[in-house]
Structure formats: C-alpha cells, structure tokens
Amino acid sequence: MPGYNYSVHLTIFVKKSMDYKKYIHIVEDFPSPGISFKDISPLLSTPGIMAAAAKDIAAKIKTRNLDMVVGIESRGFILGPMIAAELNVGFVMARKVGKLPPPYIETEEYKLEYGYARLCLPTISIKKGMRIHIHDDVLATGGTVKSVIDCLIKNNCIVDSCSFIIDLSFLNGAEKLKPIPLFSLIDY
C-alpha cells in the first residue's frame, strides 16, 4: 500500500481469493467457560483451501526480498513451509525447548495461559543479516511471536513481517509487535 504508515495501522488484511471465515469452526466455552475457540481444522481439511490460504499470504509478501520463513510450533508448521515454498525461500521451525538438538538459540520466556514457555531456533539455519518472515496460525496476545522477534533481532536478523491465519484483534496482540508489518486472512 503506497505511503502506508505501519506505526499507525499494524495489521494488513490480505487480499483474499475467498472468504476464509466460513472455514473456521467456532467452539464456545472451549477450552474453558467464556472462551470462543477458533478452530482452523475445516480450513486445513477442505480440499484446496489450505493451499489457497498459503498462496494468498505469499502473494502479499512476495516483493519483500525475504531469505527465510520461521514457523512457530506447532500450527505455524502447517502453512509456514507452504508459504516458504511459494516464495522459494527456506523454512525454519521455532520449536519448544527440548525438541531441537544443539546448537540452538532460545527465546526469552513468555507467558502462556497456564504458565511460561520458551522456544528454540536452530543456529545452523539462522544467519546474521537474514530477512525473516514469521508465520503462526493465530495472533492472540502476541507474547509468543514477540519472543521469537526479540530472539531473532538479538541474533542480528531482520524481522521483516509476520503473518497469521487469524488475528484476534480484540486481544490487542498487534500492539506488542510494533512496528513489524502484520498480515492476516481473518480478523475477529
């Protein structure tokens, strides 16, 4: 978008080839009362829809001169490699601690619903100066993505942008990620 001010408008909704919202299963009171869970299973299991979603995200970021796509465990591992393949760049998994062999770099601890966690990235795949796009399924409070962004920046990478299938914008996760450009297919 010409003249786009990322510090004012953080989330850019991807121009879509279809209405992806109709492929989201809403489960009320899951995993606990008062929560309206957004299940991406129908989007993934409907023939052609998962590929269309990856292509729509890749189309939005194809001119960004990226070196790598980082997918966040575990659902960022689904569309992340497909987006990377569309862009003809590599893919790296941000895994939970204990799931990657050394050498790796660890994120700072981030808050979960019931505690804290860290993620790891393989140092053999992350190189100084790389332009990186981060993908995950849902942007909620932003803590997980922020920890990966901070880790990559600390290790001299350039975090170019982030994408999500769903942005739960009412949780204001995008605020934690300023000024990184964000792309999503669906907003709630």
> Does the pLDDT value for residue 15 go beyond 90?
no
Work out the average pLDDT over 97-114. Answer: 91
Burial of 121 (0-12, 13-18, 19+ CB in 10 A): buried
Catalytic residue among 64, 86, 108, 113: 113
pTM (predicted TM-score): 0.91
Our answer to whether residue 106 is catalytic in this structure is no
Sorted by where each starts, the structural domains of the chain and their CATH numbers stand as 11-187 (3.40.50.2020)
Rounded Cα distance, 57 and 29, in Å: 30
Catalytic residue among 75, 108, 109, 131: 75
Instruction: Please spell the DSSP secondary structure of 139-171, one letter per residue.
Output: ESSSHHHHHHHHHHHHTT-EEEEEEEEEE-GGG
- Over the chain, what is the mean pLDDT? 91
Our answer to whether residue 113 is catalytic in this structure is yes
pLDDT at site 7: 36
